[in-house]
Chain A
Amino acid sequence: MNLDDLASSSGEWLRGSGPESDIVISSRIRLARNLADFPFISRATDADRAEIERILHGRIDALREAGKAPAESLYLKVSDLPEVDRQFLVERQLISREHANSEGARAVVIDPAERFSVMINEEDHLRIQVMQSGLALAEAWEQINKLDDLIEEQVTYAFHERLGYLTACPTNVGTGVRVSVMLHLPALAITRQIEKVFKSLHKINLAVRGLYGEGSQATGDFYQISNQVTLGQTEEELAKKVADVVPVLIDYERQAREFLIRESQETLHDRVSRAFGILRTAQTITSEETMSLLSSVRMGINLGLIGELQIPTVNKLLIHTQPAHLQKLSGMELDSSDRNIERASYLRRHLNGDNKGSAANN
């Protein structure tokens, strides 16, 4: 198992199954943890960071040898990776953009099926995350809770009796938990209701982010909804708060889709068909246009307007047409205009019926 194998595969969380997976792409939970005997990253010297990375590497190897962590999990020193590989891991949502671009010794542990990853020396010493396809927050919590226990057998976490797990930023103190679901909400965007939805979410202290986290643009109508509060409520309560709002958003999106079908079926069908047509025939195409067209196609499949394509394929294309993925898959370094040509060619290969058999691979 290496990074190139990872590039041509596609993670468990993209498999497009699980409850409500027409609208809920994935469920994620992350925990922020710090070692009690080191300064937080902002005050850590280069030597401290290297030492933290060395210690955690050793403890994770110990877990693997004891058969408690998957033996095939990948330990990557992010600080040693070329830029395209770091970008690749960001596109795959296995590390954050901050982790890819920061300084000093840092690493990531990756489960080959992409059910979990552990960032070392991100904003906190440890950022543990678990991913699931569809709406499955309770399962995700159960898994990450176990993973956290396993790591805690090996290290002493910074913890305060009254304040809970101590984190570099006071916004994460307490549980250190961020519970999030990624939703596909194209009809709410088309009917221009999305801003209103976001405002309501802000009012109940839930955050909305784009596909690639903090500050990223919401491309292709994909949105991450997550908790902002981390102190004073249990992890289960925080997960439940996110889980409770999701069915409302799903219902809202379904109503908007029904409205579009009822009021303007031809326009909607036209939009979906044109999107599919462009994706199958374009000779050069940007990442943004691809995302936006795939979003329409994805909705079209869910509404039965496109029959010959499956959701997992679309989910995979969303990730595999990102810049670093295209370069990893083609084995070439490509500038932006070459990438647009390669992206169009990749889409034509995967979306035209004569090539169904090889769609699973590159």
Chain B
Amino acid sequence: MKCQKCDRQATFHITDLIDGEPSELHLCEECAQAFLSPAQEQGQEMMPAMAGLLAQHLAVGETADELARLDQRACPVCGITFLQFRKQGRLGCPHDYVFFEKELEPLLVSIHDQTRHVGKVPKRCPHGADQQTQLIRLRREMKEAISAEEYEKASELRDQIRTIEASFREKTE
């Protein structure tokens, strides 16, 4: 068999992945050497850095003013601001996916190329868990009330939390 790149005898048979499809290459030693020698840049950056991705996508169509306003938006449940999310690359609570839905959309597209889950669905709460989300908010507000020494408000919140928790217990038992 002849080398695919020159006329010499092919002694090196390589299965290369081209766009995920294995494809056969038949090369002479010299051409194989050139083909296989590692390229200059190292592919060390395994996961695209979240911060970079975000900056990239938020820069599009956002003026500095708009971005500053966006950064100040805070989730009503856990209190995380969009700026905090952009800095740490981690969200604060499940509700952030709802509250920052528009902002997260381009990010999800660039990571996953998709925006709709098609896999497994839990049996227990397939349509989301709004009441559970409220618990996160109530617990946070209770903590804030306590540190502001608003004890009456805190005890009202505590009662609300207990009511919701008790209703969960009934459902599971």
Contact = CB atoms under 8 A, between A and B. Distances in A.
Given A42-B90, A168-B90, A248-B17, A37 B136 contact: yes
A233 B128 contact: no
A103 to B, nearest CB: 14
Nearest to B110: A170
A43 B78 contact: yes
A34 B133 CA distance: 12
Contacts of B88: 42
A245 B125 contact: no
B43 A195 contact: yes
A196 B97 contact: no
Interface string A267-292: 00000000000000000000000000
A200 to B, nearest CB: 4
Contacts of A163: 97, 108, 115-117
Most buried by B among A149, A170, A196, A231: A170
B50 interface: yes
A327 interface: no
Interface in B92-127: 92-94, 97-98, 104, 107-108, 111-127
A201 interface: yes
Most buried by A among B16, B118, B168: B118
B164 to A, nearest CB: 8
A362 interface: no
B47 A207 contact: yes
Interface stretch (B2-10, B33-41, B65-73): B33-41
Question: Considering the complex of A and B, which 7 residue pairs feature the smallest CB-CB distances, nearest first?
Answer: A232-B114, A164-B117, A200-B17, A36-B132, A43-B92, A36-B129, A158-B94
Interface of B: 12-20, 22, 36-39, 42-43, 46-47, 50, 77-80, 88-94, 97-98, 104, 107-108, 111-129, 132-133, 135-136, 139-140, 143, 168
29 contacts: A36-B129, A37-B132, A40-B93, A43-B93, A148-B120, A158-B94, A159-B125, A160-B128, A162-B117, A163-B116, A170-B50, A170-B91, A170-B108, A171-B47, A174-B117, A174-B119, A192-B38, A195-B38, A200-B16, A200-B20, A203-B19, A207-B46, A208-B46, A214-B47, A231-B116, A232-B113, A232-B115, A233-B114, A234-B120
Interface of A: 34-43, 45, 48, 123, 145, 148-149, 152-153, 156-166, 168-171, 173-175, 177, 191-204, 207-209, 214-215, 228-235, 238, 245, 248, 251-252, 255, 259
